[in-house]
């Protein structure tokens, strides 16, 4: 069965610093990969997705993620964080056929320090 | 487009009572998903429908949970004899079939 691991439950970063949130997946083939963000008291919103091709994908608000098949990883990055990036970030995977449901990691809470 | 609409936003029930949660997917979307979110377990898949047909309910606690999608404009999640461990945020999402999910704000269920 597919699974997603986000090893860091909470990450604290100073405003303006760079960010990396880690995600490892377990799946027999190459799945579709996603990062979702959940702002306080809001529903989950899609940040970016990877289906195939260039392993570095760009998302909204300056976020990007890099797919690594050899490491079974899909880490999220941002060059310079803003206080408004404070949220919970979820990595998710679905099989490439799409006829299945999204499996989420447990999420990483991002705290931005002034 | 109003997005995925979930009602109510908050529901408080007493132990043993029934709770019905409603979801209105985005018009034209063919798939509807239900997830449960807790601090401890994170986001747990419950069930999903495609073109109103139940496809996968492997995440549903079998005895007290049921879900229906009587028409393309809404789905319901019913929990009978609610227990304190059912307290969670229940999220509904819809998809046009291209793997991207659009989520509602969720229904926070509190069982006293």
DSSP secondary structure code for residue B16 in this structure: T
Quick one: what percent of chain B has pLDDT higher than 70? 98
For the domain made up of A3-113, give the CATH fold: Immunoglobulin-like (2.60.40)
Q: How high does pLDDT run on average in chain B?
A: 93
Domain borders along chain A are 3-113
Helix (H, G, I), strand (E, B) or coil at B93: strand
Which among A36, A90, A101 is the nearest to B48, CB-wise? A101
Which residues from chain B sit within 8 angstroms of residue A106, using beta carbons?
A: 41-43
SS (H, E, C) chain A: CCEEECCCCEEEEECCCCEEECCEEECCCCCEEEEEEECCCCCEEEEEEECCCCCEEECHHHCEEEEECCCCEEEEEECCCCHHHCEEEEEEEECCCCCCCCEECCCEEEEEEC
Q: How far is CA A97 from the centre of its chain?
A: 21
Summarised one tens digit per residue, pLDDT across range A62-82 is: 999 999 999 999 999 999 999
Residue B7 maps to which CATH number? 2.60.40.10
B89 located within any domain: yes
Whether B107 contacts B12, CB under 8 Å: no
Q: Which residue of B has its CA nearest to A39?
A: B105
Chain A contact for B56, CB < 8 A?
yes
Summarised one tens digit per residue, pLDDT across range B31-76 is: 999 999 998 888 999 999 999 999 989 899 988 999 999 999 999 9
* DSSP letters for B25-88: PPTT--EEEEEEEETTTEEEEEEEEETTEEEE-TTS-TTTEEEEEEETTEEEEEESS--GGG-E
Q: Which domain holds residue B5?
A: 1-21+51-107
Segment A2-7 long-range contacts (CB within 8 Å, at least 24 positions apart): A2/A26, A2/A27, A2/A31, A2/A93, A2/A95, A2/A103, A3/A27, A3/A103, A4/A91, A4/A92, A4/A93, A4/A103, A4/A104, A4/A105, A5/A105, A6/A89, A6/A90, A6/A91, A6/A105, A6/A106, A6/A107, A6/A108
pLDDT for A98 equals: 53
Judge: B98–A98 Cβ closer than 8 Å, yes or no: yes
Most B-contacting residue of A33, A35, A60, A101 (CB-CB within 10 A), to test interface: A101
Gap from B62 CA to chain A (nearest CA, Å)? 18
B85 located within any domain: yes
Task: Report the domain count for chain B.
Answer: 1
Chain A contact for B98, CB < 8 A?
yes
B57 located within any domain: yes
B97 located within any domain: yes
B87 located within any domain: yes
Average pLDDT over residues A36-45: 90
């Amino acid at each position: 069965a597919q699974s997603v691991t986000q090893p860091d439950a909470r990450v604290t970063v100073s405003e303006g610093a760079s960010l990396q949130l880690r995600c490892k997946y377990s799946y027999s083939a190459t799945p579709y990969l996603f990062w979702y963000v959940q702002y306080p008291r809001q529903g989950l919103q899609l940040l970016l997705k990877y289906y195939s091709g260039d392993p570095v994908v760009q998302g909204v608000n300056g976020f990007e993620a890099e797919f690594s098949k050899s490491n079974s990883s899909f880490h999220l990055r941002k060059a310079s964080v803003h206080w408004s990036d404070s949220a919970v970030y979820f990595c998710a995977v679905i099989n490439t056929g799409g006829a299945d449901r999204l499996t989420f990691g447990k999420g990483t809470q991002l705290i931005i320090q002034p | 487009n109003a997005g995925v609409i979930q009602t109510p936003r908050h529901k408080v029930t007493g132990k043993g009572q029934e709770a019905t949660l409603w979801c209105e997917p985005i018009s034209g979307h063919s798939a509807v998903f239900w997830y449960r979110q807790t601090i401890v377990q994170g986001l747990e898949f419950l069930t999903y429908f495609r073109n109103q047909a139940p496809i996968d309910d492997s995440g549903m606690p079998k005895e007290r949970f049921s879900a229906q999608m009587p028409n393309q404009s809404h789905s319901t999640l019913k929990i009978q004899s609610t227990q304190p461990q059912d307290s969670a945020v229940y999220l509904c999402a819809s998809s046009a079939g291209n793997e991207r999910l659009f989520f509602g704000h969720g229904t926070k269920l509190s069982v006293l």
